[in-house]
């Protein structure tokens, strides 16, 4: 992968991820509170709908950037060594590896974000400290395995269809800019 492609993947992926995450944040908060053991209203109802947004904002850009950089790098490495009929497999593998890397960033931010959403009387920093104090560093990665399985499964199915379109669009856009 050339430096220009790397930077395009990094910036475009990060910006896209951040826009999506911050735009849909209130819906995510409602979903989290509906799933809360306390019940929707005790978990905060519609109050503090942006509780946990700092965690999402901090993790969103690097999470999406890590996915797209890994995806494009693996695709680049494997694409040159595989025959055209194997292109879908290349996209699937690249997307799965991209998710494994992205989840290293996504899962800790999601743990803190969801706990803050379910307990809006606490702020993001308090939830982070409480998690580290009570569960240690491993507490931030609670659910890592299941998240990787879910996300890589989704990307494996959608990847060969959706990701090539977005990656090609990024490349064409980068070429037009130069």
Half-sphere exposure for 156 (CA within 13 Å, toward CB): 11
- Predicted local distance difference test score (pLDDT) of residue 173: 47
Is residue 97's pLDDT more than 90? yes
List all residues 6 or more positions away from 9 whose beta carbon is below 8 Å from its beta carbon.
1, 65, 68, 69, 71, 72, 170
Distance CA 169, CA 172 (A): 5
Count of CB atoms within 10 A of residue 82's CB? 14
pTM for the predicted model, two decimal places? 0.77
Range in 2-16, 21-35, 138-152 the model is least confident about: 2-16
What's the rounded Cα separation, in Å, for the pair 31 and 38? 13
6 Cβ neighbours under 8 A, 6+ residues apart: 69, 72, 73
Biggest CA pair distance of the chain: 56
| For residue 168, pLDDT beyond 70 | no
Residue with tokens 């809360």: 36
Instruction: Give me the pLDDT at residue 154, please.
Output: 81
pLDDT bracket for residue 3 (50, 70, 90)? confident
Between residues 145 and 176, the one the model is more confident about: 145
Q: How many CB atoms lie within 10 A of CB 107?
A: 22
Instruction: Of 7-11, 24-28, 30-34, 159-163, give the lowest mean pLDDT range.
Output: 159-163
Minimal CA–CA distance to 160: which of 94, 64, 82? 94
């Amino acid at each position: 992968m050339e430096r220009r492609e790397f930077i395009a993947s990094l910036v475009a992926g990060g910006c896209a991820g951040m826009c999506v995450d911050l735009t849909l944040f209130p819906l995510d908060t409602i979903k989290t509170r509906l799933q809360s053991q306390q019940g929707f209203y005790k978990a905060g109802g519609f109050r503090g709908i942006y509780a946990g947004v700092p965690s999402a904002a901090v993790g969103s850009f690097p999470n999406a950037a890590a996915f797209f950089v890994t995806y494009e790098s693996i695709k680049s490495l494997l694409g040159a060594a595989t025959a055209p009929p194997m292109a879908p497999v290349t996209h699937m593998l690249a997307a799965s590896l991209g998710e494994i890397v992205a989840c290293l960033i996504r899962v800790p931010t999601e743990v803190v974000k969801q706990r803050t959403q379910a307990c809006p009387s606490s702020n993001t920093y308090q939830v982070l400290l409480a998690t580290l104090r009570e569960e240690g560093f491993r507490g931030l990665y609670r659910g890592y395995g299941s998240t990787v399985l879910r996300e890589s499964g989704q990307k494996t199915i959608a990847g060969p269809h959706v990701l090539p379109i977005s990656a090609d669009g990024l490349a064409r856009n980068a070429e037009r800019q130069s």
